[in-house]
Amino acid sequence: MPRITESIISDFPGGKPVSAWTLTGRDGLSITILTFGGIVQSIVVPNEDGDFVDIVLGFKNPSDYLGSHPYFGATAGRIAGRVTRGKLTIAGESYPLPINDPPHHLHGGICSIDKRIWQATLLSRKDGAPSLKLSLTSKDGDNGYPGRVDLTATYTITHNNRFIFETEARSDRPTPVSLTHHSYFNLAGEGYGSTDDQELEISCNSAFEADEWMGLTGKCHDVEGSLNDARSAKPVGEFRKGLWNEHGDLYWLGESNQVRPVARLRDPRSGRTLEVATDCSCLQFYSGIGLDGTLVGKSGTSYLPGAGVCLECEGYPNAFDDGKRFGSIIVEPNKPQRTRTEYRFSNQACSLISS
């Protein structure tokens, strides 16, 4: 039966209460969410044979998320991704953002919403699916951003093993918001090791150009004939080697008011498959190449390069004053911004890669 349970983390530093909420769906999928950072600590996926496997990287001890880590499972923002040179301009007015990934601004800045304690509210749905809403207010001037913004992130587990991540932003003045869910996926299990042999498909024709520090240049190109073309599935390890510094790329999906499939990842050993669907305009693929073995995960395994991959659905990070070439992430007063991303888990016997 679907259920929701709460565990109070009594030893979390700082004196403020933090909870771990576990949502379990009708068909066995469960996720655990921390009110600290809106972090998804685990996603446990059932197999056809009744076994359960945690398929996202992270820490067993919630207080470890206070330390330095590469946004494991976090809700990242106010702007997910890199704002080039930290230059935010709205209606001709400049707001310099902190440079926390030199020479660019990354994932909302220093001690942003991924390091804050969110307020939890249980939601009641007609279909009985367990659903949790987290709420947070980001004040005017937070990390240099103008305007007060009220944010919500809603986590729902539906039938057929789907995890739905929805966001809403309301502001008292025009300001950019683009949140993303930042789990590192390894469909063989979080402590398995490399994702190199897992099969990746990204249903996208265009990708953005980046500079040598991975900041966006404003140019978008067709992936046809390029090494970052993953429209036909290929092993993650093979795909990663064709990327600059083996890092990843931001893909342009186009604007849409409908959730549509944009990527798939499959573990050939288990047949475990993740399909990502979203109404966001961009997808950031990150290979996990920056993991260097210094972080030890939930199973006691050190996370080495490629131990997990990210599929971050978001808006174009610089879409605030560029003539709406790549949409707009500006939230206007009395006009809330909403997004929806679905992570659909299944078992698929056949390979994504054509023989």
- For residue range 142-187, list pLDDT tens digits in order: 999 999 999 999 999 998 999 999 999 999 999 999 999 999 999 9
* Structure confidence at residue 355 (pLDDT): 55
Specify if 354 maps to a domain.
no
Identify whether 104 is part of a domain. yes
Q: Are 93 and 158 in contact (CB under 8 A)?
A: no
Annotate 103-159 with three-state secondary structure.
Answer: CEEECCCCCCHHHCECEEEEECCCCCCCEEEEEEEECCCHHHCCCCEEEEEEEEEEC
Non-local CB neighbours of 137 within 8 Å, separated by 6+ positions: 148, 149, 150, 151
Show the tokens assigned to 57: 């990287």
Q: What is the mean pLDDT of residues 295-305?
A: 96
Give Cα separations from 6 to 22, 120, 238 (angstroms): 6, 10, 41
2 assigned to some structural domain: no
Domain range for residue 18?
A: 7-347
**Residue-wise pLDDT tens digits, 225-274:** 999 999 999 999 999 999 999 999 999 999 999 999 999 999 999 999 99
Say if residue 51's pLDDT is above 90: no
**What is the rounded CA–CA span in Å between residue 215 and residue 352?**
31
For the domain that residue 133 is a member of, what is the CATH number? 2.70.98.10
pLDDT confidence of 348, banded at 50, 70, 90?
A: confident
Extract the tokens encoding 30: 């469960």
pLDDT of residue 324: 78
* 1 in any annotated domain: no
- Does the residue 313 lie in any domain? yes
- Judged against a pLDDT cut of 70, whether residue 322 lies above it is answered with no
Q: What is the token pair recorded at 284?
A: 């950031």
Asked, for residue 76, whether it belongs to a domain, the answer is: yes
Active site residue ranges = 182, 312
Name the DSSP letter for residue 236: H
Place 10 in a pLDDT band, splitting at 50, 70 and 90: confident
Residue 210: pLDDT band (50, 70, 90) is: very high
In a domain, 353, yes or no: no
The conformation of residue 239, written as its DSSP 8-state character, comes to H
Distance CA 141, CA 91 (A): 17
Structural domain count of the chain: 1
Banded pLDDT at 323 (limits 50, 70, 90): low
The end-to-end CA distance of the chain, in Å, is 40
For residue 14, the model assigns a pLDDT of: 76
The answer to whether residue 355 is domain-embedded is: no
